[in-house]
Structure 1
């Protein structure tokens, strides 16, 4: 069977945990006030505010770079980035049908920003740095009416566009030393630019808002101040005083019904400011830079997105932050599901360990160790501890409910600890490190004891798995070998020579086979007793793969650098189902014990929950 076969059934995606927080104005509330709209990699997520149910819009071939929603909510427009020399796609979505209404191709490499006209006749699109064009599209005919260079040659890159609130023929573009009011002339099929006059000020505008009456343009700048421009004349009418400047610039701006300004800064400060003198009325610090502000209905409630991939809900009256969505911002390095559970799992990324609830898709606990990286983790079989391996050579165990440190092994290895697991009895730990050593530890009420340090491998240990009877374990390494260890004598029983960097190793539930994956893109079956190679399968088109086997041993799942999740029949060695919705390399896979849910993680920090296509018959 071809690896990219299109006739293989798709795995059903149930939910995702993730939010691409760095997309400017990437968070929207639909005009029906019932759905949040935001990007995650290639996908656009529609999330019901009341109960958190998710729907997905699939159609982009690369990461979504911008989103806009029409005034009535009939359309959603989204643009993407693409590779050098390729056209970046704009998709207009029919919101009611959840289908693609039009696909527009014009801009090269990236679509920087989008905006709908107030009566939904036109869509304006802005190309990225290597394109530099602004274009107006007729939504009914799905064709471009006109295009023009977005800024003068003497100016810098154009970063944002905003349409008039009342006039289908006027919109504003802004960026590095450029601020232009455009007028669309249907008779000539051209857009005429009028440069705004801001005197001797030299500013880069990050975001633009136009008041409801189309009298004034408010601009947030990288310098941390505001510009107030008369839309009709194009002249500067006011500039915020130095004392109200925002650290790391103004990244997001919204005008509420009262006329006041909601301001999100690069330092993570959310502020409410007067629109007349720009005086700060209220402030709330958030984690990392604010990139999006989305008003719900008349503005009594609004939502804020940040670079920390977090979404907050605010009430306009009390101005208090309610954190409603969290996710990783860096690559997820490891994932583990509580033994015998189908409800709780843990992930690690950067300096964080997070515990999640599968049913609610919410973060239950976050453990942060500043300035070090968690390489891998393991939930102890009794559920009383989360083992973790760190770049500072430490092994730590935390309480899964409180995050309280329960165990710290200082200098557990000479180099970074790269693999860790615990026995079913929860009395022993096996760890591996960057220099290739495998250490065997004993846990007791008073602490811990090193039982044995081995030197069987010559390169980084990537994975360790233990047999269910706690008598043997297998370690995988970048040196191209897997070693089966006796856990009583702590000696090597068998060595499997894979001749490639081995990244993942798994015991079959019946424990007569081991399967491995590595840089050779293959999945290899091995005999436990004689180290023989039984079968090799071509698993992906590029890179390594993560692997997990179902509890009944009938199927296994792979995923890797080609972004494809594959479910395989173990005996037949063929792909039964494919999931192709990941936007980055797949870094981890786990099948829940009930064989009904599959969790996968990505290099972009996203966590995907799938319906496992071969549930247990019980």
Structure 2
């Protein structure tokens, strides 16, 4: 790939909208009280609470599965998942330098949980179900001291570990019918477990919380109750609440200085309860199951993460949730800017369309359609409506200010509406469907009319673009064809064929050429007039190119795909000038904002990234 061998600069990543709320206790406030730490895909994100500036820790090769921060704040540890039989890394990061301090490679398939000892001496790591081992590491040397099976042969697999607050030699592990306290025997390089006695109670423990004095510890269970165990005698001290258990299990807990417990449950309830009898004092309902509870400083403020990708901020006194950050929890399928405006953009996913403020990355509007997936969206040129294509075969039109549903085109496509574009005069919509049809709709006041249905594609239509005079459009399909259609006579003008599943197509602004991308990793330039091939570029070394967008001047275009790289290309010489490294999932779409200052890219892991568009180099 000759173009890649030239001098390629790195794109500057400005902001990431995204948070993996499925990682248990993955949202942590750093001891400095000024940073939030949380995972997204293969990346660990550090976000300043003062100015919202983000720093990215890149080093994992697959999704981050657990995160922990040392008591001093000097170190962050993160573990990842990988494939069966392969090593799953845990990484210790130097917080001050924001770089890898040590890479720990012993576990297979997944690192389930990890915890620092109170004085930064040791890190304990727990392997996943296929690994089943606990390993203790010396932080100073980055070497393993010893390891042991996490649970006894007749017990279930272990899910979590927690270190004591005062003793570097004692930690607790728990999981499916297993609850053990471990002690380090350093001279013999061994960790020795002692089973806790819980009598007839058999529970699956998801989280452990140990008060500052190490007198006992709490275990949150999937049954919705909390076990209280004496850390000296290892005997069950209490269990509650007796009547009103926490619905869908206790997933996250934190103890406050007052002796009260903050309990996050699977039904999205955050409860402040008494640490002795577990009686509820206050509660708040949040969106999505609570997976993280983290205190800021002494606990006057705390941050809550949910599996719906939401981050909330609470004050202890008023106990009212403030939505600190909202994020997509499913793959983002498309992105669109209103005509001529770079301040806002919209993204679409399963269950919703969201409108974001570009500069602050704040969500300004959410349009929810539960249990449906939005495959594509576009703004009408007058900015008065968002047009969207959905997997139930409907086209839905909403107002961008309020999200009110203006119009539904029922049964627009029999196998889901998969691509959409609006004409410049705001009177027509061209849509593509899973069955391969291209349909042209006239939008009237409060109603619509099907003008024509054009059926030549034999598989899903993946992209539709309309020429600036509204008289022609081009459709890309996974049947290996791109078709240029006459929108006045509703006939095919030209067809482009290639041995690929086409994913994206763009008109060059001068509209005498189109460029295409797809699963063959090639970028094709084609003549609009006769459909002949002009040139072919090697677009990627691995995986399909799913998204592509060209500047209004036509001098550069941007691509993104399964290789997780955003690439900026010179149109005329076909060379890559800049590469953006930051996505953890396959890139699904890319868009250059109208003022050419930023690129927005979206991915299959729910992330939305904003990049600084490079200054003109030619």
Alignment TM-score > 0.5, same fold: yes
2:554 is the alignment partner of 1:553:
yes
Moved more, 481-490 or 128-137: 481-490
Q: Deviations over 1:223-276 (max 9, x none)?
A: 111100000110001011431311221110110110111111111111111111
C-alpha contact (below 8 Å) 1:594/1:615 kept by paired residues: no
In structure 2, C-alpha distance between the alignment counterparts of 1:191 and 1:161, rounded to whole Å: 14
In structure 1, C-alpha distance between the alignment counterparts of 2:127 and 2:498, rounded to whole Å: 48
2:315 is the alignment partner of 1:298:
no
SS in 1 for 2:243: helix
In structure 1, C-alpha distance between the alignment counterparts of 2:576 and 2:363, rounded to whole Å: 33
C-alpha contact (below 8 Å) 1:595/1:614 kept by paired residues: no
In the TM superposition, 1:215-614 aligns within 5 A as 215-540=215-540, 541-614=542-615
RMSD: 1.6
In structure 1, C-alpha distance between the alignment counterparts of 2:446 and 2:176, rounded to whole Å: 62
In structure 2, C-alpha distance between the alignment counterparts of 1:159 and 1:374, rounded to whole Å: 35
Partner of 1:131: 131
In structure 1, C-alpha distance between the alignment counterparts of 2:414 and 2:168, rounded to whole Å: 66
Moved more, 578-587 or 287-296: 578-587
How far the C-alpha of 1:318 sits from its partner, in A, is 1.2
How far the C-alpha of 1:479 sits from its partner, in A, is 2.1
C-alpha contact (below 8 Å) 2:4/2:575 kept by paired residues: no
Moved more, 291-300 or 433-442: 433-442
Partner of 1:69: 69
In structure 2, C-alpha distance between the alignment counterparts of 1:196 and 1:3, rounded to whole Å: 62
In structure 2, C-alpha distance between the alignment counterparts of 1:7 and 1:468, rounded to whole Å: 35
Q: Deviations over 1:142-173 (max 9, x none)?
A: 21111111111111111111111111111111
**CA separation of 1:33 and 1:592: change in aligned 2, threshold 3 A:** same
Q: Deviations over 1:365-419 (max 9, x none)?
A: 0001123221211011111110011222221111101001122222223332111
How far the C-alpha of 1:138 sits from its partner, in A, is 1.3
How far the C-alpha of 1:3 sits from its partner, in A, is 8.5
Q: Deviations over 1:553-604 (max 9, x none)?
A: 1121111112222222211112222223211111010011222211110101
Partner of 1:92: 92
TM-score normalised according to structure 2 size: 0.97
In structure 1, C-alpha distance between the alignment counterparts of 2:182 and 2:49, rounded to whole Å: 36
Q: Deviations over 1:466-503 (max 9, x none)?
A: 11122211111222212212222222221222232211
In structure 2, C-alpha distance between the alignment counterparts of 1:138 and 1:525, rounded to whole Å: 56
C-alpha contact (below 8 Å) 2:3/2:574 kept by paired residues: no
C-alpha contact (below 8 Å) 1:63/1:583 kept by paired residues: yes
How far the C-alpha of 1:616 sits from its partner, in A, is 8.9
How far the C-alpha of 1:2 sits from its partner, in A, is 6.2
C-alpha contact (below 8 Å) 2:407/2:446 kept by paired residues: no
C-alpha contact (below 8 Å) 1:160/1:175 kept by paired residues: yes
C-alpha contact (below 8 Å) 1:118/1:166 kept by paired residues: yes
Moved more, 436-445 or 8-17: 436-445
C-alpha contact (below 8 Å) 1:354/1:366 kept by paired residues: yes
Q: Deviations over 1:17-36 (max 9, x none)?
A: 00010001100001111111
Number of residue equivalences? 617
C-alpha contact (below 8 Å) 1:595/1:616 kept by paired residues: no
- Structure 2 unaligned residues grouped into runs of 5+: none
**CA separation of 1:450 and 1:297: change in aligned 2, threshold 3 A:** same
- Structure 1 unaligned residues grouped into runs of 5+: none
Partner of 1:169: 169
In structure 2, C-alpha distance between the alignment counterparts of 1:21 and 1:7, rounded to whole Å: 38
In structure 2, C-alpha distance between the alignment counterparts of 1:129 and 1:6, rounded to whole Å: 45
In structure 1, C-alpha distance between the alignment counterparts of 2:90 and 2:234, rounded to whole Å: 30
**CA separation of 1:556 and 1:146: change in aligned 2, threshold 3 A:** same
In structure 2, C-alpha distance between the alignment counterparts of 1:82 and 1:602, rounded to whole Å: 19
C-alpha contact (below 8 Å) 1:88/1:108 kept by paired residues: yes
Q: Deviations over 1:100-122 (max 9, x none)?
A: 21111111121111111111111
In structure 2, C-alpha distance between the alignment counterparts of 1:361 and 1:306, rounded to whole Å: 19
How far the C-alpha of 1:456 sits from its partner, in A, is 2.7
C-alpha contact (below 8 Å) 1:594/1:616 kept by paired residues: no
TM-score normalised according to structure 1 size: 0.97
In structure 2, C-alpha distance between the alignment counterparts of 1:514 and 1:144, rounded to whole Å: 57
SS in 1 for 2:107: strand
In structure 2, C-alpha distance between the alignment counterparts of 1:57 and 1:118, rounded to whole Å: 23
How far the C-alpha of 1:524 sits from its partner, in A, is 0.7
